Amino acid sequence: MICILTIAVGFIAVHFFKMLRLYLVLMEHRISFGRFILLYLRTTFINLIIPFKLGELYRIEEIARVTKIWQVGFLSVLVDRFFDTLALLCVLLPLDLILRGGISVITIVFLVALFVIALVYLAIPASYTYLNRYLIMRKTSGRALVALRGLDIVKSWYDFTHELITGRSALIVAASFLGWGAEIITLRALSIWMHISFGLGDFASYIEAVLLKGESSLLETYTRMGAIALLILTILGYVSYLLYHRKERA
């Protein structure tokens, strides 16, 4: 009974913190909270049942549709994934070094990906200023004009990204860590209920199974239970939303 209660509370906590993180990213676009909850539930459900995280494409499309800015759709999901992976990496790296005696392939992939993204993001302002001034002062060809246009596009994407995290990055990171902490506790409770072994040392293997669709009875059960719970919550959410608006019109 305690395991089932822990699983239920843990599942709610996991998605509360993940939803909070995405809400913080999109806060400046003032999506009503009720509409945002429905967006999160339906996109998370789709993302859960489609392999290799390809459901993120649906989330990009939905956020772009709601905000009416396609760049926000892409960049908000990228930022959400970045901070989620950053927190995950902070968990995986010490576990690999302490419990496994070496860094796993998936941890190396995460390290490289985050390093490249962070390096590009941090390099854009100074690079834009220098190259923009250089091209304006020393180049007058058609190629220079094309390059200037390209620089402006890159800078606009940087500005979109900057607006998504300004003043909220610490809260986004905190939500990411709390989400992963809740997920580890939930997985541990589920493994006890299923009578299978799952410790901190097995967490990296679990993540590899998530990303590469490897075999894992724990992952399969967690995914099935999560999909059913999210489907029920999505249906209840839409029913409540429709009843609320029908009552407002009456």
Query: What pLDDT, on a 0 to 100 scale, did the predictor assign at position 180?
Result: 95
164, 25 contact by CB (below 8 A) = yes
Q: Convert 133-166 to b/e letters by CB count within 10 Å (16 or more is b).
A: eebeeeeeeeeeeebeeebeeebeebebbeebbe
Beta-carbon-side half-sphere exposure of residue 85 (alpha carbons within 13 Å): 19
Q: What is the pLDDT along the chain (250 residues), one digit of tens a residue?
A: 788 899 999 999 999 999 999 999 998 888 888 889 999 999 999 988 887 677 889 999 999 999 888 888 999 999 999 999 999 999 999 988 888 778 888 889 999 999 999 999 999 999 888 888 887 776 666 777 787 888 888 898 999 899 888 889 999 999 999 999 999 999 999 999 998 888 877 888 888 888 776 778 888 899 899 999 999 999 998 888 787 767 666 5
Rg over alpha carbons for the chain, rounded to the nearest Å, is: 21
Q: Measure CA 158 to chain center.
A: 18
Where are the domains positioned within the chain? 2-102+168-249
- Angle (CA) 66-69-72 rounded to 5° is 90
Count of CA atoms in the C-beta half-sphere (13 A) of 199: 5
pTM score, two decimals? 0.90
Please name the residues in contact with 157: beta carbons below 8 A apart, sequence gap of 6 or more. 71, 75
